[in-house]
Amino acid sequence: MESLEKIRKAIIETMPAEAKVATEEALAEGLSAKEILDGALIPGMDEVGKLFREGDCIAEALLNACKGDLENGFAFCGSEVHRISGITTVKKVIDRLFGEKC
């Protein structure tokens, strides 16, 4: 079904809002929670796991950056990069924003 594929794709592409909408659509179509789990959620997470194992997923790099390991981490900046006065880690930004440790 189309809604199951939408859910699976949203999981693989890390789009939680889209996954939620597609899940609500699937439920409205009359699909059971088990059908959604077996037909979309588990296959989507299986694909994420496969991509992670093959190195095509940045989750590990983001976790490394959060821990301050920029050698093995993933660093990025947005359109406001001109406002930055120095380089920092994701961990430090998160700690500043939330006052918690990663």
Tens of pLDDT along 30-71? 999 999 999 999 999 899 888 877 776 666 677 777 777 777
Residue 78 or residue 44, greater confidence? 44
- Alpha-carbon gap, residue 100 to 102, rounded angstroms: 7
Query: Band of the pLDDT at 9, cuts 50, 70, 90?
Result: very high
Q: In 3-state terms, what secondary structure has residue 49?
A: helix
- Alpha-carbon gap, residue 55 to 69, rounded angstroms: 17
Res 76: pLDDT: 62
The closest of 6, 38, 9 to 23, measured between CA atoms, is 6
Res 34: pLDDT: 94
